[in-house]
């Protein structure tokens, strides 16, 4: 997408500026990611100040820096708050293009739903990348917009009150999805109801249609919404859906575990609302995001890597799903702490003790997982936990690895891969 100097001035209303070029082709918040023609937003963060990296940004090809102070030797546009200006930039340029905007939030499965939706629609959809779901990373979606873009898919993350409303007001989505809401990030809220209220504030700025997890029905009267239950069917371990979509359709995806059926249904309902014919959907090769329930084979063992994050609900769902395999093989469960649960943290870890009793081998790691330990194998030291795991695996074992991102549970998988 091309951004002109006059547009940028109109969007950001600078205090001062010294602009050299008339057009720009991308925005960056990391000086190392600047390329020829970039606009570099010098953000102040907890660890560094983007103003210190302005020379590096221009060395890498930047044409303009958005700053909070006047600078010498480089073209700049000075504003009061570069962080706010980044969102103002997004809001302004979204108003210059004609696309359908789809916003996704929730506590459980929002990234998976986003990945499914993007894959189903295909190249005419542009989405936020990786875990870019904050006010400073979401605006970079504009870098991938071109004349073939018909849909923008946003993922909205949240830590504090007001985050979702702030993003929603800037984007003003046509369509919204709210997945399962639980007590993730509860350390920043008093209770789950407060989390729900923040999440559903998205609907105040949604103009056309919403797909919501069924438990949210009592919290909103949004007129044009459908509700999807998050329930694990016990008949099959993989996705098996019957849909009313251009007639009755049966969808079987043996590579996608059944606990992700609600996420896929949400994505399909949006495609249906957008009037995308079923035969045009890219159902083939549908896949899960990285580090979300990825099944990998290392020699004579199978590993399920699910360590992008962890919460009571997502862990319960995983435990229920793993019971499909107990009759046929040994199942080893390796768990790290669930973080950001606030006052519920100890209780939620204690509850795990009973839930894990049917598995062949359980390995717990972290300061909080000791509260789930009764007869299980608990380790404070990760290296010791890894050594114990490697010593006790057998041929044909299924090893499930899960924990919050901060626990770096990928080190368990790496040890299995390299053994």
Q: In this model, does residue 373 exceed pLDDT 90?
A: no
Q: In this model, does residue 105 exceed pLDDT 80?
A: yes
| pLDDT (tens digit per residue) in 54-90 | 999 999 999 999 999 999 999 999 999 999 999 999 9
Q: In this model, does residue 185 exceed pLDDT 80?
A: no
Q: Tokens in use for 262?
A: 């609600």
Query: What is the rounded average pLDDT of the residues 22-51?
Result: 95
Query: What is the rounded average pLDDT of the residues 173-179?
Result: 98
Q: Which residues contact 313 (CB under 8 A, 6 or more apart)?
A: 107, 108, 180, 182
Please classify residue 264 by burial: count the beta carbons closer than 10 Å to its beta carbon, then call 0-12 exposed, 13-18 middle and 19+ buried: buried
What pLDDT score does 156 carry? 97
Separation of alpha carbons 187 and 183, rounded Å? 9
Query: What is the rounded average pLDDT of the residues 373-393?
Result: 94
| pLDDT (tens digit per residue) in 136-175 | 999 999 999 999 999 999 999 998 899 999 999 999 999 9
Counting residues of the chain whose pLDDT is more than 90, the rounded percentage is 87
Tell me the H-state helices in 293-394: 312-322, 345-350, 352-355, 382-392
DSSP 337: P
Residue 115: band (very low, low, confident or very high) from pLDDT cuts 50, 70, 90: very high
Q: Tokens in use for 256?
A: 């996608």
| pLDDT (tens digit per residue) in 295-341 | 999 999 999 999 989 999 999 999 999 988 998 999 999 999 999 88
Better-predicted residue by pLDDT, 160 or 377: 377
Average pLDDT, the chain: 94
The total of other beta-carbon atoms located within 10 Å of residue 320's CB is 14
What pLDDT score does 230 carry? 86
Pairing of strands 361-365, 331-336: parallel
What pLDDT score does 232 carry? 66
| pLDDT (tens digit per residue) in 211-237 | 999 999 999 999 999 999 987 666 678
Say how far residue 128 (Cα) sits from the centre of its chain. Answer: 9
351-352-358-360 Cα dihedral, nearest 10 degrees: -160
Separation of alpha carbons 335 and 361, rounded Å? 11
Query: What is the rounded average pLDDT of the residues 196-209?
Result: 97
What pLDDT score does 223 carry? 92
Query: What is the rounded average pLDDT of the residues 338-365?
Result: 92
Q: In this model, does residue 179 exceed pLDDT 90?
A: yes
Q: Tokens in use for 199?
A: 């999440």
Least confident of 53-62, 96-105, 175-184: 175-184
Q: In this model, does residue 239 exceed pLDDT 80?
A: yes
What pLDDT score does 157 carry? 93
Going from the N-terminus, what domains does the chain have, and what CATH number goes with each? 3-80 (3.40.1390.10), 97-280 (3.40.1190.10), 294-418 (3.90.190.20)
Q: In this model, does residue 186 exceed pLDDT 70?
A: no
What pLDDT score does 183 carry? 78
């Amino acid at each position: 997408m091309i951004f002109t100097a006059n547009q940028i001035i109109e969007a950001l209303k600078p205090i001062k500026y010294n602009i050299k070029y008339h057009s720009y082709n991308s925005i960056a918040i990391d000086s190392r990611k600047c390329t020829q023609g970039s606009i570099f937003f010098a953000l102040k963060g907890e660890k560094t100040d983007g103003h210190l990296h302005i020379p590096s940004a221009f060395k890498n090809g930047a044409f303009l820096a958005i700053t909070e102070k006047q600078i010498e030797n480089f073209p700049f546009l000075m504003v009061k708050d570069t962080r706010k200006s980044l969102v103002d930039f997004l809001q302004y340029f979204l108003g210059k293009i004609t696309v359908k905007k789809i916003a996704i939030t929730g506590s459980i499965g929002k990234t998976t739903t986003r990945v499914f939706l993007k894959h189903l629609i295909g190249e005419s959809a542009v989405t936020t990348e990786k875990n870019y779901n904050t006010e400073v990373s979401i605006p970079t979606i504009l870098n991938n917009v071109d004349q073939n873009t018909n849909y923008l898919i946003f993922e909205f993350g949240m830590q504090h009150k007001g985050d979702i409303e702030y993003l929603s007001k800037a984007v003003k989505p046509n369509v919204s999805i709210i997945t399962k809401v639980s007590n993730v990030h509860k350390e920043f809220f008093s209770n789950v109801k407060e989390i729900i209220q923040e999440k559903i504030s998205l609907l105040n700025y949604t103009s056309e249609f919403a797909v919501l997890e069924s438990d949210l029905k009592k919290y909103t009267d949004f007129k044009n919404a459908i509700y999807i239950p998050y329930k694990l069917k016990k008949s099959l371990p993989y996705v098996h859906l019957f849909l009313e979509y251009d007639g009755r359709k049966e969808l079987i995806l043996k590579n996608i575990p059944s606990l992700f059926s609600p996420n896929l249904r949400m994505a399909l309902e949006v495609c249906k609302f957008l009037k995308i014919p079923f035969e045009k959907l890219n159902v083939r090769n549908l896949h899960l995001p990285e580090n979300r329930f990825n099944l990998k084979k290392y020699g004579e063992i199978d590993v399920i890597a699910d360590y992008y994050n962890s919460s009571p609900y997502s862990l319960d769902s995983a435990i229920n799903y793993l019971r499909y395999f107990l009759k046929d093989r040994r199942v080893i469960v390796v768990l790290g702490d669930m973080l950001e649960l606030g006052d519920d943290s100890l209780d939620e870890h204690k509850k795990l003790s009973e839930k894990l009793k049917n598995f062949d081998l359980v390995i717990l790691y972290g300061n909080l997982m000791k509260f789930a330990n009764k007869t299980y194998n608990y380790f404070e030291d990760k290296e010791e936990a890894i050594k114990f795991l490697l010593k006790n695996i057998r041929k044909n074992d299924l090893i499930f690895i899960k924990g919050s991102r901060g626990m770096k549970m990928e080190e368990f998988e790496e040890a299995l891969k390299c053994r």
